[in-house]
């Protein structure tokens, strides 16, 4: 990945040198504004390409590039130049990685990331620099809460949105005393808190919170604890390779079929091929799923499968929508990404025609989402209905 980044960087610098040399020879006498129109829009992509969330980073990248290619590679008439960083889902490296894109490469817009802790590390750098940022996954509630800002957008979800509706689902299934199991980091803690908030409103009680450090996958001790507690349901938040391992371990521990398993949809998203029948019947809530059978989703799935020879998942959709949102902004200002105020205005009032269903942004720049109830059936996360219509994040603490 690093090699390609460096290559792209050298190509960019070579281009700049050539223009300067020609201009100096008096051949190219254009106004600076016209030159600016010709330069490529610099897109900094900060995503995980290694580790437990690697597949998520790839899907987001694929989706984003597809949206750009559907516009002939030139949204708003401007070509795109990519600067890519593998953030390894490592919060400790996040400020340095974000600075590479913002200060060194001087990108016009940052697309990233997956991990909530990494997003928190990016936020300080990006807020200070005022660079446009579209977050295509990381759910950290703060990003569209106390840290909300005119230059910060999300094309995905807040952690709160992904599990708040699950309390209602559990009540409908007759479960009142579940346990919650997750990684101990920002996203795990926030999805747990949102689930608990929804559950309490429905009269249920969370009887145990079970954590292991991110990105560990040694679930055995916690599964043994679950077997001894005997809750009426288990709710889990894991994603990527960690989710696949959890599903297999849950089955191997003999819990599948004994204690019903639920989760935010990340638990079963993008992993069904890998887990055999370990996920069969697991119900989850998420803002995307299989079998929506809409014109937009069918066209997207076909185009994605043709381009990448694989099926898209929610991460691909979020990347695609990040590309669509950026395109709305660029098209509104005819590619002049320096025209920040009208570009932001166009983006915040956009209606994104998404494979998940059309969405708009809240005042905190977070998508208002239909949350689907899904069930894992064979290799599909089949949409069974809408668990919550037009769920907006409460944006607690956002004063922008
Ligand atoms: C997060 O860290 O925000 C996150 C990671 C994977 C899936 C969903 C959320």
Whole-number Å distance, alpha carbon 53 to ligand 1 midpoint, is 9
Within 10 A of 131 (CB to CB), how many other CB atoms are there? 21
Q: Sketch out the chain's domains with CATH numbers.
A: 2-157+293-365 (3.40.50.2300), 161-286+372-391 (3.40.50.2300)
- Please give the distance, rounded to the nearest whole angstrom, from the Cα atom of residue 37 to the centre of ligand 1: 36
Q: How many helices, marked H, and strands, marked E, lie in the chain?
A: 13, 14
Q: How much of the chain, in percent, has pLDDT values that exceed 70?
A: 90
Cα–chain-centroid distance for residue 193? 19
> What's the chain's average pLDDT?
92
Q: What is the mean pLDDT of residues 156-179?
A: 98
pLDDT at 25: 31
Greater confidence, 279 or 37?
279
| Ligand 1 contact, 163 CB (< 6 A) | no
- Provide the Cα torsion 44, 50, 51, 56; round to 10°: 60
How confident is residue 34, by pLDDT bands cut at 50, 70 and 90? low
Q: In ligand 1, which atom is closest to the CA atom of 140?
A: 3
Q: Is the CB of 187 under 6 A from ligand 1?
A: yes
Sign of CA dihedral 312, 318, 319, 321: positive
Which of 118, 139, 314 to probe ligand 1 with, by most ligand atoms within 8 A of CB?
A: 139
With the most atoms of ligand 1 within 8 angstroms of its CB, the residue from 88, 112, 116 to mutate is: 116
According to DSSP, the β-strands at 109-111 and 132-135 are: parallel
Question: Which band of pLDDT confidence, cut at 50, 70 and 90, is reported for residue 38?
Answer: low
* pLDDT tens-digit readout, 75-118: 999 999 999 999 999 999 999 999 999 999 999 999 999 999 99
d(CA 189, CA 184): 6
Peptide bond into 113 cis (omega under 30): yes
Which of 60, 112, 137, 236 has the most ligand 1 atoms within 8 A of CB, as the residue to mutate? 137
Higher pLDDT, 10 or 183: 183
Q: Of ligand 1's atoms, which has the minimum distance to the CA of residue 89?
A: 2
Answer whether 116 contacts ligand 1 (Cβ < 6 A): yes
CA–CA distances in Å: residue 201 to residues 28, 166, 176, 179: 67, 11, 11, 16
pLDDT average, residue stretch 257-271: 97
Q: What is the pLDDT of residues 312-344, one digit of tens each?
A: 999 999 999 999 999 999 999 999 999 999 999
239 C-alpha to center of ligand 1: Å? Answer: 7
């Amino acid at each position: 990945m690093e090699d390609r980044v460096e290559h792209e960087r050298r190509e960019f610098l070579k281009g700049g040198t050539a223009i300067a040399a020609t201009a100096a020879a008096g051949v190219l006498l254009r106004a600076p504004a016209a030159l600016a129109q010709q330069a490529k829009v610099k897109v900094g992509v900060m995503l995980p390409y290694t580790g437990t969330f690697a597949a998520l980073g790839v899907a987001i990248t694929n989706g984003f590039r597809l949206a750009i290619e559907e516009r002939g590679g030139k949204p708003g008439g401007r070509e795109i130049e990519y600067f890519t960083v593998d953030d390894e889902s490592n919060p400790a490296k996040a400020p340095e990685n974000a600075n590479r894109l913002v200060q060194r490469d001087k990108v016009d817009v940052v697309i990233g990331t997956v991990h909530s802790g990494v997003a928190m590390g990016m936020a300080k750098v990006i807020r200070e620099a005022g660079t446009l940022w579209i977050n295509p996954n990381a759910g950290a509630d703060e990003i569209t809460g106390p840290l909300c800002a005119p230059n910060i957008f999300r094309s995905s979800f807040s952690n709160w949105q992904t599990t708040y509706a699950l309390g209602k689902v559990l009540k409908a299934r007759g479960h009142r005393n579940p346990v919650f199991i997750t990684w101990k980091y920002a996203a795990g803690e926030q999805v747990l808190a949102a689930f608990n908030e929804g559950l309490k409103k429905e009269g249920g009680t969370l009887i145990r919170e079970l954590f292991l450090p991110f990105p560990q996958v040694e679930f055995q001790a916690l599964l043994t604890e679950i077997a001894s507690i005997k809750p009426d349901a288990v709710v889990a938040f894991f994603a990527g390779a960690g989710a696949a391992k959890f599903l297999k371990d849950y089955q191997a521990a003999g819990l599948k079929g004994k204690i019903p398993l639920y989760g935010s949809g990340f638990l079963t998203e993008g992993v069904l091929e890998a887990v055999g029948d370990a996920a069969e019947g697991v119900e989850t809530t998420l803002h995307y799923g299989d079998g929506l059978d809409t014109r937009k989703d069918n066209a997207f799935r076909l185009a994605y499968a043709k381009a990448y020879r694989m099926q898209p998942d929610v991460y691909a959709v979020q990347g695609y929508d990040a590309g669509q949102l950026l395109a709305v902004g660029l098209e509104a200002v005819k590619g002049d990404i320096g025209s920040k105020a009208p570009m932001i205005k166009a983006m915040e009032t956009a209606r994104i025609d998404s494979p998940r269903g059309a969405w708009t942004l809240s005042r905190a720049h977070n998508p208002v989402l239909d949350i689907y109830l899904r069930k894992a059936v064979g290799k599909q996360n089949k949409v069974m209905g809408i668990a919550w219509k037009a769920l907006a994040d409460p944006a607690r603490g956002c004063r922008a």
